[in-house]
Structure formats: C-alpha cells, structure tokens
C-alpha cells in the first residue's frame, strides 16, 4: 500500500454577514452553487460528505494538465454577530502524488 506525499491544505476563513442557513443553501444547492463554483470544476455534482448546516465536501479536478484532483471542504459556524464564519479547506487528494520510492515493500525505486 502506498502512502501519500505530505501536503498542507489551503485553509481560508471568512466572516460573512449572511446567516448560516443562507450560506448553507449557497454551498449545498446545485443551482445556487454553480453561480460561484462551476460544475466543470467538480468531479461529480454530489458531495462526498455532508453534515447539513455544518459541513460539506466536494471532489474537484483541475481543468488544466496534469488535471490533479483535490477535496474542498466548506465548514460553517454561526458567529457572534448573527452571521457565519465560513472555513474553506482545500487539499490535494491525488494518487499521482505518491513518490516512486514511497512503498511499504522496502525496495527503493528511482524517483
């Protein structure tokens, strides 16, 4: 079994004036989501994980070579001002990022 190269996800936090329910609709309903996240950027239209009102995760694929795959997670928390703290975590999740000599067998391969 191969392990993945360590990569640090990109983490962004935003304070939004909109209540969590409105932000949730914008990130979870396909008709609203496609206004800011094109369907072509997603591997599929369905999330791979969803905890309604709190978090949703989508698989994505770059539209330029080498067409790397990634996972983007949107987390919502109500803030003290009645709005939403939106955390976006975007990390690579592509099997092509395994190093040639990163195997469990103990054999070294050319990298």
What is d(CA 41, CA 64) in angstroms, rounded to the nearest whole number?
11
Residue 105 confidence (pLDDT): 42
Question: Once rounded to an integer, what is the mean pLDDT over residues 76-104?
Answer: 80
Domains and CATH numbers, the chain: 10-97 (3.30.530.20)
pTM of the full structure:
0.76
* Whether the Cβ atoms of residue 9 and residue 90 lie closer than 8 Å to each other: yes
Q: Is the pLDDT of residue 4 over 80?
A: no
Where is pLDDT greater, at 11 or 44? 11
């Amino acid at each position: 079994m191969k392990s993945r190269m360590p990569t640090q996800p990109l983490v962004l936090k935003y304070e939004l004036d909109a209540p969590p329910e409105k932000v949730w609709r914008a990130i979870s309903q396909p008709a609203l989501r496609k206004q800011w996240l094109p369907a072509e950027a997603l591997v599929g239209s369905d999330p791979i994980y969803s905890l309604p009102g709190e978090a949703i995760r989508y698989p994505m694929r770059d539209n330029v070579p080498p067409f790397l795959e990634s996972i983007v997670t949107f987390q919502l928390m109500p803030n003290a001002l009645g709005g939403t703290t939106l955390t976006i975590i975007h990390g690579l999740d592509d099997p092509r990022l395994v190093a040639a000599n990163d195997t469990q067998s103990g054999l070294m391969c050319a990298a």
